[in-house]
C-alpha cells in the first residue's frame, strides 16, 4: 500500500520532515553556547528560510491540486457527455418500440 492510499502524500511527508529538521535546528541553536545576539540572528535566518520553503511547498501543492481538479472536471464532463448520449439513445429506442407496439 503506497502513501497515496493511506492518506499521506509525498508532499506532506516532505513537509513534515522539513518542519522537524527546522525545529531540531532551532533547538540546537538555542542550546549552543554562543552570544544572544548571534543566536537571535541565526533564529531569524532559520525562520526566514522556513517561511521561504513553506511558501514554495504551498505553491507546489496548490499547483498539483489545481491540476488534479482540472483533470477531474474534464473527466466528469466526459462521463456526463457519455451518459447523456446513452440516455438519449435509450429514449429514442423506447419511442421506436412504443411506436411499433402501437401499430401492431
Confidence (pTM): 0.48
Taking the C-alpha atoms of residue 40 and residue 86, their distance in angstroms, rounded to an integer, is: 68
- Tell whether 23 is covered by a domain: yes
Taking the C-alpha atoms of residue 85 and residue 14, their distance in angstroms, rounded to an integer, is: 45
Rg (CA), the chain: 29
- Tell whether 4 is covered by a domain: no
Predicted confidence (pLDDT) per residue in 54-63, tens digit: 888 889 889 9
- Tell whether 75 is covered by a domain: yes
Predicted confidence (pLDDT) per residue in 7-45, tens digit: 567 777 877 887 888 788 777 777 777 677 877 788 788
- Tell whether 83 is covered by a domain: yes
**Secondary structure E strands in 1-104:** none
Q: How confident is the model at residue 6 (pLDDT cuts 50, 70, 90)?
A: low
The domain tally of the chain equals 1
Predicted confidence (pLDDT) per residue in 81-102, tens digit: 999 999 999 999 999 998 888 8
- Tell whether 3 is covered by a domain: no
Taking the C-alpha atoms of residue 10 and residue 18, their distance in angstroms, rounded to an integer, is: 12
- Tell whether 5 is covered by a domain: no
Q: With a cut of 50, say whether residue 3 has pLDDT above it.
A: no
Domain coverage including residue 41: 10-103
Amino acid at each position: 500500500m503506497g502513501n497515496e492510499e493511506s492518506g499521506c502524500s509525498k508532499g506532506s511527508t516532505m513537509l513534515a520532515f522539513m518542519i522537524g529538521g527546522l525545529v531540531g535546528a532551532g533547538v540546537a541553536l538555542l542550546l549552543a553556547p554562543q552570544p544572544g545576539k548571534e543566536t537571535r540572528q541565526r533564529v531569524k535566518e532559520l525562520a526566514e528560510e522556513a517561511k521561504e520553503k513553506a511558501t514554495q511547498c504551498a505553491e507546489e501543492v496548490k499547483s498539483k491540486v489545481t491540476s488534479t481538479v482540472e483533470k477531474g472536471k474534464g473527466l466528469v464532463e466526459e462521463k456526463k457527455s457519455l451518459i447523456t448520449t446513452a440516455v438519449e439513445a435509450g429514449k429514442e429506442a423506447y419511442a421506436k418500440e412504443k411506436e411499433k407496439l402501437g401499430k401492431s
